[in-house]
Structure 1
Amino acid sequence: MTIQEYVERGREAMEAIKDYDQAQTDKLVYEAAKIIYQHAAELAREAVDETGLGYYEDKICKNTDTPAAFWAYLRDKKSVGIISENKETGIIEVAHPVGVIACVTPATNPNVTPLGNFMDAVKGKNAIIVSPAPRAAKSTTHTVELIREAMVKCGAPADLIQVLSEVTLANSQALMEACDLVIATGGSGMVKAAYSSGTPAYGVGPGNPPVVLDRGYDLKEAAKMTVTAVGSDNGILCDGDNLLLYPQEEEEKFFQALKDEGVVLFEDKADVEKFGAVLFHDGHPVPELVGKDAPVIAKAAGFDIPKDTKVMGLKIDAVGKANVLNKEIMGPIVVLKGYESFEEAVAMAIQNMEEAGGIGHTAGIFSNDRKHIEYYGERIPVARVLVNQPTPDAWGPSTNGLSPAVSESCGTWGNNILCENVDYIHLINVSKIALPLDVQVPSPEELFKD
């Protein structure tokens, strides 16, 4: 089937549901979420077996928590017809579909990225066509097939969601050019291709979040949340911690707290350098070690660690370009560096993103000091600052006010047009009906008189 035929099928599917009301539309959103939730373990197993990335149990959680969080967020939102009216301004907002959306998805999230994109898209009565990562084509295709089954059970066209059967760079590029909107989730090269396709596009930037541990914060809690952030899905989450900055005088106590949580620490400079040598080649991550279990990575560096180790910590001497380990590792490893003053910690966090990558994406802070939190938030160039939470909560679970997303945009810092999580509202055109206002408009002379 040609790319144009995929697009035409998507348009026909949209035409079939153009008169759906809000309840009918929300039924499609619900059933898509439900069927992936019901097949969570099966899809997780397939994803790990096919891609070799991540951790099976964590992927099950992704496949249950994501549909639940998306549905809880979307179920009471208006997205069909008139969605709001402001009597004070005289503005009535009306929602319209954007059209057929090309969704380029990564190997790291072959199940929840297609699902999240579809739930947001069909909420506005759009259709999507998924271009899967070649490494995850089987798992992504199965995900799409399940959602298609759910659509048919609702009496809706299966072609509201499609997946390319032949995954090539040329087909992906052609799809982006033929659709009405692109959501590109993956590497920077692919995002640039989306922006150069001539089609409006939402992209994401690379992650590499720095986290600052402030003085006075509970060290055990910080260690616990660090393990959650770094260990989740073997560290392949773009919003998972990479660099953690801690008060220098609390090093011994904090390192012990990390060890108590099962983290294996490497503090000797020569040992740490061995990890840099095996994880990166010419400054680029070694693909064979991305998303692998901690003991596998340790073995490659010449170390034997307990088989049940989830996270390793590497102590470094300098941030930024001074050490290749400051780049996004995409593994269950946190890089550790002490600081003297809080201001120094913030400066190092910024320096690390500017020199080693991740600018615009996400940052974290463990702190009980509101002034420090605001100081950090006003200076750190990211779209999301996670306070006293694991940084992967940037995706928007119910425990914070961020909208659930499978694509986290990074603003102009990360060469993205959005500086927030990609949401259903970004996948509808909202037109404004402007009623006349009975107001007295001041004259220019009145406005500009001294």
Structure 2
Amino acid sequence: MDLYGALGAAILVALAFVVPHLADDRWRDSLYAAAAPIFGSWEPHWGWGTGPAIAIGVLVTVYGPGLAGRMSWRWLLPAVWLTALAWSFALAMVDGWQRGFAGRLTTGHEYLHEVGGVSSIGAMLRGFADRILDFQPDSWTTHVSGHPPGALLTFVLLDRAGLGGGTWAALVCTAVGCSAAVAVVVAIRALGAPERARAVAPFLALAPAAIWLAVSADALFTGVSAWAVALLALAVEPGRRRPAVAFGAGILFGYSVYLNYGLILMAIPAAAVLMLRGVRGAWPAAVGALTVVALFTLSGFWWLDGYHLVVERYYQGIATTRPASYWVWGNLAATVCAVGLASAAGATRLSGNLGLPRSPRFSGSAAAALRDWRGRVDPAALMAAAGLLALLVADISLLSKAETERIWLPFDIWVLACTALLPVRTARRWLAVQVVGTLLIAHLILTNW
């Protein structure tokens, strides 16, 4: 079944790349993605990051599974983060320092374009919603208008801390984004599956998503939301209630939804954690999240107003032209490019590891049924399914037509947990598949992010 899953995903990706070239020019141009389903252009190239990327891929493929299985947690977690950082940076350097890294966040559509114009944070927050709609003299640039003010606020604060400019922004986004790999390992371990956490570690370190983790602001969003889930999992560990950790999880959850409207869907992975561990000890998380909501609201920004205006702004632009008939499934092909064929192979094992009853009938109480399910469900499968459900909901919303290899990174990082379900003996083969696929995309397509 693993091979069938990977083959099906490969066919989906192949169709998504081929179909635009079979259509007429007018329809193809309406996609606004020259390398659809990837937002970029076909441009075979190589750079000084090519050699290091190949070397990292080979080394982790050969030695990663063994080391992940026997290293102490004290060393495994930083090793995953540093490897993910090295892999991401090497892939970015395939495009070169300026084009692939330092200049990524300095274009006219990005957040840094607006940082210099923010003289007062309070005024920015109070007037943020008024500048969301397009075709106004003071309309926010594309990315700023498409997100809550927390995203712009983050880069403003970096600038005021002396970390201004494209290089610092890229470093912060990449470092935080790559830490999401560690967060997933921590969460799965805290949910009672340490062996699954070790199994998934090399796949997270070599995630194809690294192409977009370096560099995009969505990498930052991915890291913040992933640690929100990880801290929640740590906070509700049986016998180890940690109210401060739970409060921290809530702060990160709250801040996540002010970084990206779509991260409201991170409630799904959070709910998965609470379904498995229960809600006892989680109440400080609610306090933390509400604290963030209160601060932004009192500062003058009401989230629902922003959301409704963003939907309106979305349809002021190319979203009205991009055909849903392609992107509703092309989005999923782009996601496969970000999570790799190994994730698709592991996804075939989800149903058998979610602890679903063979019979729909259960004669006991609901509490007894829940206890029974908790004893059968695989935490890695549950978190992967939660990530998959979140991105499917996002797809159905039609508010993400194209560019989902970047936009859905916060969900993709959890879908990668599917790889933990693959047999240990096949880990190196699937890692090799991941590496080859990633290198092909990085060298054949000049991505816009």
Length-normalised TM-score, structure 2 = 0.26
Report which structure shows greater RCO (CA 8 Å, sep ≥6). Answer: 2
- Pick the structure with more helix per residue: 2
Which is greater in Rg? 1
Length-normalised TM-score, structure 1 = 0.26
- Pick the structure with more strand per residue: 1
